[in-house]
């Protein structure tokens, strides 16, 4: 019987099915825990993009703070208050809903500090953001992150919404945030770095997309950990692009591994591959994209709405 709950398996008895695929006695992470971690990555990234967007193109730190505060209030609405003190802004989100970049709900206090640096062809902007007990899409964050546009084309002096192609403002995120998913699983981002490729320019009009599908092999993956079934799993996502209430696009994946080198012992890895539909394929081992239709898997209901053809 198919469940109507988003992020649960279409087929019943998931743990039993995956244990059968993996072998008796295997430790299997809870259903949905890989997707929980990917969504935490997405929620944090959306918030950081919202706070950063107005600062890019500034020529002074104080200007970046003022511009950011004004744009956040304009885009998010009356539910957010912004107090500017020099290069620092204190944002107070009071149960905000339907925010840009696919962030559905936000509450809590976040402090962002902006710093603008002059380079040969213009200015680069960095932002540090912190906050305790920040709620994003039902997950609770101890937020500690830095964003900058050092991966951008230095020849571009234009604000991000006016830049396309090679001049896009690519954001590099460095984060040590931790938190708990709404399902109760503890997750971490252990001093990791990833890139939001052209997020401000490419999606300036739609404003409701998250994209980890960068073409740079060294920057295409976001990693961290999530705890499930008494085991700390290394979590990884790549090729993940998701807009609003739509489904993740085809080609992306989320992988839970028990350690960095892939040796599992008696713990079963978990791979979730997306194909653009509302049902992803769940595997008990690593499977290449071109093999996903040939290897036994379990269907996983994402609770999303596929894009119309």
> What tens digit of pLDDT does each residue of 297-309 get?
889 888 888 876 5
What is the token pair recorded at 26? 């295997």
| Residue 265 pLDDT exceeds 80 | no
Q: Which residues lie below 8 Å from residue 148, measured CB to CB, with a gap of 6+?
A: 124, 125, 126, 127, 171, 172
User: Helix (H, G, I), strand (E, B), or coil: what is residue 47?
Assistant: helix
What's the CA gap between 187 and 185, in Å, rounded? Answer: 6
pLDDT of residue 243: 66
Cβ-defined contacts of 216-221 (< 8 Å, 24+)? 219/151, 219/172, 219/193, 219/194, 219/195, 220/195, 221/194
Taking phi first (over 0 means left), then psi (-120 to 50 degrees means alpha), and beta for anything else, what does residue 219 get? alpha
pLDDT digits (tens, 9 = 90+) for 211-259: 554 433 333 456 777 877 677 777 877 777 776 667 888 888 888 887 5
What is the pLDDT, as a whole number, of residue 167?
Answer: 42
Tokens of 226: 């999530």
Opening angle at CA 103, ends 101 and 105, nearest 5: 155
* Dist CA 231 CA 209 (whole Å): 31
Indicate the domain borders of the chain: 8-301
In angstroms, the CA 161 to CA 273 distance is: 32
Q: Are 68 and 90 in contact (CB under 8 A)?
A: no
Count other C-beta atoms under 10 Å from residue 148's C-beta: 20
Distance CA 191, CA 177 (A): 8
Q: For residues 215 and 190, which has the higher predicted lDDT (pLDDT)?
A: 190
Lowest mean pLDDT among 154-158, 172-176, 304-308: 154-158
């Amino acid at each position: 019987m198919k469940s109507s709950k988003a992020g649960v398996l279409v087929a019943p008895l998931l743990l039993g099915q995956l244990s059968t695929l993996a072998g008796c006695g295997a430790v299997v992470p809870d259903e949905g825990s890989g997707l929980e971690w990917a969504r935490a990555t997405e929620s944090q990234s959306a918030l950081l993009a919202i706070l950063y967007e107005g600062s890019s193109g500034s020529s002074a730190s104080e200007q970046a703070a003022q511009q950011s505060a004004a744009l956040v209030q304009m885009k998010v609405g009356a539910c957010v208050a912004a107090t500017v003190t020099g290069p620092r802004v204190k944002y107070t989100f009071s149960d905000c809903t339907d925010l840009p970049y696919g962030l559905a709900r936000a509450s809590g206090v976040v402090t962002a500090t902006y710093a603008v640096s002059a380079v040969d062809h213009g200015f680069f902007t960095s932002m540090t953001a912190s906050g305790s007990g920040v709620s994003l899409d039902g997950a609770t964050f101890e937020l500690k992150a830095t964003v900058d546009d050092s991966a951008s084309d230095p020849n571009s002096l234009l604000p991000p919404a006016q830049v396309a192609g090679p001049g896009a403002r690519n954001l590099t995120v460095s984060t040590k945030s931790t938190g708990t998913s709404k399902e109760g699983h503890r997750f971490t981002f252990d001093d990791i770095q990833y890139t939001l490729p052209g997020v401000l320019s490419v999606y300036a009009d739609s404003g409701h997309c998250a994209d980890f599908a960068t073409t740079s092999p060294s920057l295409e993956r976001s990693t961290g950990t999530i705890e499930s079934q008494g085991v700390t799993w290394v979590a990884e996502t790549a090729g993940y692009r998701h807009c609003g209430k739509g489904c993740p696009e085809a080609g992306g994946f989320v992988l839970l591994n028990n350690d960095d080198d892939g040796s599992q012992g008696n713990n079963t890895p978990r791979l979730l591959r997306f194909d653009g539909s509302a049902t992803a394929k769940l595997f008990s081992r690593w499977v290449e994209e071109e093999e996903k239709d040939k290897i036994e898997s379990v269907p996983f209901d994402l609770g999303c709405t596929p894009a119309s053809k």
